[in-house]
Amino acid sequence: MKIAMIGSGYVGLVSGACFADFGHQVVCVDKDAGKIEKLNQNVMPIYEPGLDNLVQRNVENNRLSFSTDLAGSLVDCDAVFIAVGTPSRRGDGHADLSYVYAATEEIADAITKRTVVVTKSTVPVGTGDEVELILSKKLNRDQFAVVSNPEFLREGAAIGDFKRPDRIVIGVEDDWAQDVMSEIYRPLFLNESPILFTGRRTAELTKYAANAFLATKITFINEIADLCEKVGADVQEVSRGIGLDNRIGAKFLHAGPGYGGSCFPKDTLALLKTAQDNDSPVRIVEAVVQVNDNRKRAMGRKVVHALGGEARGKKVALLGLTFKPNTDDMRDAPSIAIAQTLMDAGADVSAYDPEGMEVAAEIMPNVTMANSSYEAAIDADAVVIVTEWDAFRALDLQKLASTMSGKTLVDLRNIYNHADVSKSGLEYTSIGRS
């Protein structure tokens, strides 16, 4: 089938490349001419393991192309996916749908045959209705159908998630559109990936509910970690003890400095606004958002406490800046608040991240970026593991200690144990463990 993907960011590029790998003819469209030029040179705008090879293979096989020409790209398309950004709107936290609606206006002018218009972007309940209304002003109702097909991709594992999904959710109101979507996802259907056809509004809410629930699990175990520290329990053993219950599950029960990234922060806020607008408050999610926001700066204060309560004039090295490993995404990363808290306390901050430093340098101009973990640790009074990159799991702790002026190692991801760290002569502080 012929598919157009409007938006060549994280979701659009990964989805477009994977659809092309299924054998579909895909064009990824973006207004950013510089991004399209780089993509045509196989230079990825994001870091995602395996994406460059996937893109290159499908470009070489003439199944994937890139363009700034939306109208030309939509000629004879069977389906058009809207995969533009929906950031939190400044001032009120609602999802900013201006990019979605602008793309819809252009699609309405460019459709040449009966086409399925699919919202792949994360959008609040009722957005599909508005997209349908915009299209109806310029097109006959039998010329199009609007479908919701939310993405469930984890940054750092997106290709695997797309090709081996837990489920595919498709919100559809027209039988013929369901047939088109079934054909698009047929390679996964044949692999028995669960495909859930629902109403469009149900699909839209499913995405937000899923992210809010995962954010809740993260926040819950973080609060349990704080309690563990007070009562002398071990949060990792608590996590295992509850995670072995199949009703709960082990995923997203790893204590840390709080969630960040492109999805959870904005999606929990957007869900709150939708709930408020419909006079149906979601109190649990309200608490999750507040607790998570407070936790990030609390982790900075935890480092100050590990330094004896005084950080002024001291150097702290942060290992890991991105919100999670295997990405260069710095959006709402805990490292931002942690670094700012430390600098507010008078500390000098250095940092190293395997992929995120170029982006981080723009966000954190007063943080000194280093070329390695050991360079960041030179003369540091404390080293803080913020992101659990594999590169930090097997550090030479004695070498690390020898470069430092202090003895403090703060492990905000619990990737080490006390005995191993103590052998190197470092003083160890972790999360939720006495």
Interatomic CA distance for residues 377 and 352, integer angstroms: 9
Active-site residue 18, yes or no? no
- 128, 200 Cβ separation under 8 angstroms: yes
Q: Among residues 28, 77, 228, 263, which one is catalytic?
A: 263
- Residue 5 half-sphere exposure, CB side, CA atoms within 13 Å? 29
Residues 6+ apart with CB under 8 A from 182: 189, 195
Catalytic residue positions, numbered: 263
